[in-house]
Amino acid sequence: MVKKSIIALALICMLATVSFAQDGTQYSSDNALKIDGLWPAQVTIKYSTLEICRFKVYIKVGMFIQIENCQYKKIVLEQVNCPGGQSFPCYKGCTQIKVRSNFEAKLTLQKYKIGNVIDQWKVYFWDGSSSSNDYITTPDGNYHAIDVCVEAWDTNIYNAGPNTEVLAGEIAILAVPTATPDCSDYCD
């Protein structure tokens, strides 16, 4: 009889180890995990994974501005009728740039003369209806198109051979934020 009682007790213990643990899982405000009883398990007799902590991830974003495919841009000036006040021969050309930024910036143009074919020239932004010496970016992260144009007059075309494209200058696009800087951390 004692032998049968020990076997019955052993069977009850075996069944208890295969059953699920009580879900007495408790979380505290300091991300401590307390389990009453055994750690939760699955039927396959392996422990369950429990989340014990979750926190936020932030990224420190700086100021970003980009001109799409700038390295492939060029302006080829072609002869045009001279506008009033400009001396023959006159040339004009434009190229479209696409700029995107995450802050509002003022773009300006800087010209660099190369060689002796042009002396009198100007550069400007063209929006399709008016010209401007600067352009204010839209800080939405999307590309926005604007034309960069060059006009030259009283050119020295006799300094170049016929049917050639002569490098006469370069245009640099400069950017500066429109906002006033916070000088609490740095300033010149």
Q: What is the pLDDT of residues 154-163, one digit of tens each?
A: 999 998 888 8
pLDDT over 90, % of the chain:
64
Task: Quote the number of domains for the chain.
Answer: 2
State whether 75 and 24 are in the same domain.
Answer: no
On the question of pLDDT at 9 being above 50, the answer is: no
CATH of the domain at 83: 2.60.40
Whether 25 maps to a domain, the answer reads yes
Q: Measured between alpha carbons, how far is 140 from 99 in angstroms, rounded to an integer?
A: 11
Whether 31 maps to a domain, the answer reads yes
Q: What is the pLDDT of residue 17?
A: 46
Whether 6 maps to a domain, the answer reads no
Whether 12 maps to a domain, the answer reads no
State whether 77 and 164 are in the same domain.
Answer: yes
State whether 80 and 121 are in the same domain.
Answer: yes
Domain that holds residue 90: 65-177
State whether 70 and 155 are in the same domain.
Answer: yes
Top pLDDT among 19 and 36 is at: 36
Whether 102 maps to a domain, the answer reads yes
State whether 50 and 123 are in the same domain.
Answer: no
Q: Which two tokens stand for residue 130?
A: 């008016």
State whether 104 and 167 are in the same domain.
Answer: yes
State whether 45 and 72 are in the same domain.
Answer: no
Task: State the pLDDT confidence band at 182, using cuts at 50, 70 and 90.
Answer: confident
Q: What is the pLDDT of residue 80?
A: 97
- Asked if 148 and 171 touch (Cβ cutoff 8 Å), the reply is yes
State whether 38 and 113 are in the same domain.
Answer: no
| Average pLDDT for 32-53 | 78
| Average pLDDT for 6-35 | 54
- pLDDT tens for residues 86-136? 999 999 999 999 999 999 999 999 999 999 999 999 999 999 999 999 999
